[in-house]
């Protein structure tokens, strides 16, 4: 779909993907993992607080 949307020739698509799209996807996935880890640490209270009655 990207190839046709941006009118990229078939012979240049691999270069387009590896130089432009792939780094952005890697950054996106990295940011999402960081966000997920951060939200897990802020949602779960420390275990010492859970054990108190």
Residue 35 within a domain: yes
Domains identified in the chain, total number? 1
Query: In the 8-state DSSP scheme, what is residue 19?
Result: I
Q: Which pLDDT band holds residue 4 (cuts at 50, 70, 90)?
A: confident
Considering the chain, what is the average pLDDT of its residues?
81
- For 22-42, the pLDDT digits (tens) are 999 999 999 999 999 988 887
Q: Which residue range is the domain that position 16 belongs to?
A: 2-40
The string of DSSP letters for 31-49 reads HHHHHHHHHHHHHSPPHHH
Task: For residue 23, tell me if it sits in a domain.
Answer: yes
The answer to the question of residue 32 being in a domain is yes
* Residue pair 3/10 in contact by the 8 Å Cβ criterion: yes
């Amino acid at each position: 779909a990207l190839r046709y949307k941006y009118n990229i020739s078939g012979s240049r698509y691999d270069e387009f993907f590896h130089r432009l799209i792939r780094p952005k996807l890697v950054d996106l996935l990295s940011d999402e993992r960081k966000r997920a880890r951060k939200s897990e640490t802020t949602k779960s209270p420390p275990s010492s607080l859970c054990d108190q009655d």
